[in-house]
Amino acid sequence: GAVVSQHPSRVICKSGTSVKIECRSLDFQATTMFWYRQFPKQSLMLMATSNEGSKATYEQGVEKDKFLINHASLTLSTLTVTSAHPEDSSFYICSARVGTGVGSGNTIYFGEGSWLTVV
Amino acid sequence: EDQVTQSPEALRLQEGESSSLNCSYTVSGLRGLFWYRQDPGKGPEFLFTLYSAGEEKEKERLKATLTKKESFLHITAPKPEDSATYLCAVQAMRETGRRALTFGSGTRLQVQP
């Protein structure tokens, strides 16, 4: 089946530095990818929608200058956490949709997630 | 605003003890209702997509059903390896804009041997 891959799976960075997380669709093209954030024992919260070739759409309350999203190709989206702070420590997960229409074939797969720890 | 409520929050079963997880939703036109399994520290693993009321899908010991207001995930004769958090999510029918999933808070299932 379709696979979405994230890298790195775990990263530790110092406060004030930037860190990039990659999300790749391995065997399909994804014009749209989604970035979520998950705190321990909580559900997934949408951060932004990544659109290939155009600007990302951010959810209310998500700082676009802090969480930079680039969707440069149909198989790659990146999330860069800039000037990271300890409160940015979280589990970041991307997803991509396979299928284009309503009805069968609309499946959304998730990556394995990336643990970010800011020290 | 789309809303998804899952119950119970946590469920502990004995191996072989069948049960059901509930997902109630409100959405402005349902494009799809999704069930995922999430193990600790991992991304959600896709289980099912349901599209219309009355639809049912099965996979091994799991069966998902859908009505106009809720979905159930039935677990028949569960095994310890079925222990995980089960997430329900909806996708709204929109031509443009937000097509991401709205998630419930999940049901943490623990199956004891």
**Cβ neighbours for A82, distance < 8 A, ≥ 6 positions apart:** A18, A65, A66, A67, A68
pLDDT of amino acid A104: 47
The beta-carbon neighbor of B98 closest among A43, A49, A106 is A49
Q: Which amino acid is at A51?
A: N
Q: Which amino acid is at B37?
A: R
pLDDT of amino acid A16: 97
pLDDT of amino acid B22: 98
Widest CA span in chain A: 45
Q: What is the mean pLDDT of residues B62-67?
A: 98
Q: Which amino acid is at A107?
A: T
Q: What is the mean pLDDT of residues B77-104?
A: 86
Chain A residue with minimum CA distance to B52 = A103
Task: Say whether B44 and A93 touch across the interface (CB within 8 A).
Answer: yes
Tokens 């676009």 identify what position?
A64
| Lowest-pLDDT choice from A55-64, A92-101, B7-16, B85-94 | A92-101
Q: What is the mean pLDDT of residues B50-60?
A: 95
**Cβ neighbours for A29, distance < 8 A, ≥ 6 positions apart:** A74, A75
In chain B, residues with a C-beta closer than 8 Å to the C-beta of A108 are 34, 46, 49, 91, 101
Mean pLDDT, chain B, integer: 93
**Alpha carbons B33 and B102: distance in angstroms, whole number:** 10
In chain B, residues with a C-beta closer than 8 Å to the C-beta of A113 are 41-43
CB A107 within 8 A of CB A97: yes
Tell me: pLDDT of B63 over 90.
yes
In chain A, residues with a C-beta closer than 8 Å to the C-beta of B42 are 112-113
Tokens 């969480």 identify what position?
A67
Provide the 8-state DSSP code for A59: P
Task: Say whether A115 and B44 touch across the interface (CB within 8 A).
Answer: no
Which of residues B94 and B68 earns the better pLDDT score? B68
Low-confidence ranges of chain A (pLDDT < 50): 104
